[in-house]
Amino acid sequence: MVRVRFAPSPTGKLHIGGARTALFNWLYAQATGGKFILRIEDTDKLRSRQEFVDEILESLCWLGFLHDEIYYQSQRTDIYLEYAQRLLRQGKAYTEKSPAGSGEAIIYKVVPQKIKIDDLIRGTIEFDATTIKDQVLVKSDGTATYNFACVVDDALLSITHVIRGDDHISNTPKQVLLYQALGFKVPAFAHLPLILRKEGGRLSKRTGATAISDYRRAGYLASALVNYLLLLSWSPGADREIIDIKEAIKLFDIRDVNKTAATFDLKKLDWMNNQYIKTSDSHWLLEQLIPVLKEKGLIREGDFDANYLLSLVKLFQPRLARLNDFAEWADFFLLPEITIDEAAQDKFLKNDLSREFQLFSEKIDGLKDFNVESIERCFRELIKELNIESRVLIHPIRVALTGKTVGPGLFEIIYYLGKERTKERLANFIRQERR
């Protein structure tokens, strides 16, 4: 049975690179009917924190990468010491006192040799062990080093495939030496390519290297983010970009992963997120948005019209790249008073349009059937009567009603604002012009 593992260190939050590694491990386990093991590498007592453990677990759960087993290296110290002592007894390792005299380190004697692995992604990789110095197994404070603990755990947990980032390639020959020294079977290796920013070079916070929990808070859907991560070095074929995870499981093979570096493009992620938002259930989207709207002070607990909010969600749903944009884009529907953007004021409201606004308000007031079609009809009638182009009024009215220059269609805005609020906001502008 295939057994893979994802082994995060809880010295920070789960980021894009780690999430993709977790995805490809989980996906390979699902595709082969295997097991996905989670190992928390928390031996760094100074930097490991429970809050990071919690964040990693929560983010993996949100993405849908549920583990079959979980282990904590901090609980396995005695096991590492036992195997280090075994190498000492066999003469394959030696001890060395700490310069401070506080304890003894256990060090493996590297045997010069040629090492060859058949990487499932990169093909054959050869290493020369003569360039590798003796390896510390256990530090003088009694804690196992990364490479040693990793080998012992992978062997004892029966890990068959080690799928990880190619920044670990330099660790591979050191680990192969330890597998051989301990008499363990060497697993298959697959080293995933780096994820680079669009401009080249490693990701930074500005170009996407933020925590998965931050993407979640920003309004990205888990399904969209997983779909995007899938395309970072793998393709379902036929130039497809949108693929359900269940179908991906049927198609995925770790050998099909591209060995060239992947490019992270935030605009592409926004596009993909929009594709998923557009096809999501509007009621479900509203459930996700209600806590955000409360936090922004746009609604209060037990004091909002859920049906009205749902209609607004449906109005903005096709346009949203990030779910949380809704709170910023739709706030004028929910605020008693709006603030007009200064640039918009200068661009569209610098001329005195009080007469035109008054005439439009009167036409709106006279509508018996208040709907999008009738609102547009009365606007077109006014434009014709005044013998002006629609752009003379359409943008100024939008800004006066919303404070913004972009958004849904003007007639939809007026319909969802309602007749009375539309007249009130137009009247506010008219009063300001007449001062």
Q: What distance in Å separates the CA atoms of residue 386 and residue 391, rounded to the nearest whole number?
A: 13
Q: What distance in Å separates the CA atoms of residue 339 and residue 407, rounded to the nearest whole number?
A: 15
Return the number of other C-beta atoms located less than 10 Å from residue 339's C-beta: 11
* Segment 390-399 long-range contacts (CB within 8 Å, at least 24 positions apart): 392/356, 393/353, 393/356, 393/360, 395/348, 396/348, 396/349, 396/351, 396/353, 396/357, 397/357, 397/360, 397/426, 398/348, 399/340, 399/341, 399/344, 399/345, 399/348, 399/349
Residue 435's pLDDT is 53
Asked whether 115 and 126 are in contact (CB, 8 A), the reply is yes
Of 114, 116, 205, 347, the active-site residue reads 205
Residue 206's pLDDT is 59
Residue 207's pLDDT is 58
Q: What distance in Å separates the CA atoms of residue 278 and residue 202, rounded to the nearest whole number?
A: 32
For the whole prediction, is pTM greater than 0.85? yes
Helix residue spans in 183-281 (DSSP H): 212-218, 222-230, 245-251, 266-278
* Structure-block tokens of residue 416: 């969802």
Q: What distance in Å separates the CA atoms of residue 388 and residue 56, rounded to the nearest whole number?
A: 59
Helix residue spans in 280-341 (DSSP H): 282-295, 306-316, 325-329, 331-334
DSSP string, 141-189: TSPBPHHHHHHHHHHHTT--EEEEEGGGGGGHHHHHHHHHHHTPPPPEE
| Residue 205 is a catalytic residue | yes
* Structure-block tokens of residue 348: 């569209």
Instruction: Give the helix/strand (H/E) hosting 126.
Output: strand 123-128
Residue 345's pLDDT is 84
Q: Among all chains, which residue has been given the structure tokens 């200068």? A: 346
Per-residue pLDDT 10s for the chain (435 aa) are: 999 999 999 999 999 999 999 999 999 999 999 999 999 999 888 899 999 999 999 999 999 999 999 999 999 999 999 999 999 999 999 999 988 777 899 999 999 999 999 999 999 999 999 999 999 999 998 999 999 999 999 999 999 999 999 999 999 999 999 999 999 999 999 999 999 877 666 766 555 568 999 999 999 999 999 999 999 999 998 889 999 999 999 999 999 999 999 999 999 999 999 999 999 999 999 999 999 999 999 998 888 899 999 999 999 999 999 999 999 999 999 999 888 878 888 888 888 888 999 999 999 999 999 999 999 999 999 999 999 999 989 999 999 999 998 889 999 999 999 999 999 999 988 877 655
Q: What distance in Å separates the CA atoms of residue 363 and residue 365, rounded to the nearest whole number?
A: 5
Asked whether 309 and 331 are in contact (CB, 8 A), the reply is no
Instruction: Give the helix/strand (H/E) hosting 192.
Output: strand 188-192
- The pair phi, psi for residue 312, each rounded to 5°, is -70, -40
List domains and CATH numbers for the chain.
3-73+194-272 (3.40.50.620), 76-192 (3.40.50.620), 281-331 (1.10.8.70), 342-433 (1.10.10.350)
Instruction: Give the helix/strand (H/E) hosting 138.
Output: strand 135-138
Residue 82 burial class via C-beta count within 10 angstroms: exposed 0-12, middle 13-18, buried 19 and up: exposed
DSSP string, 41-83: ----TTT--HHHHHHHHHHHHHHT---SEEEEGGG-HHHHHHH
* Structure-block tokens of residue 235: 């393709």
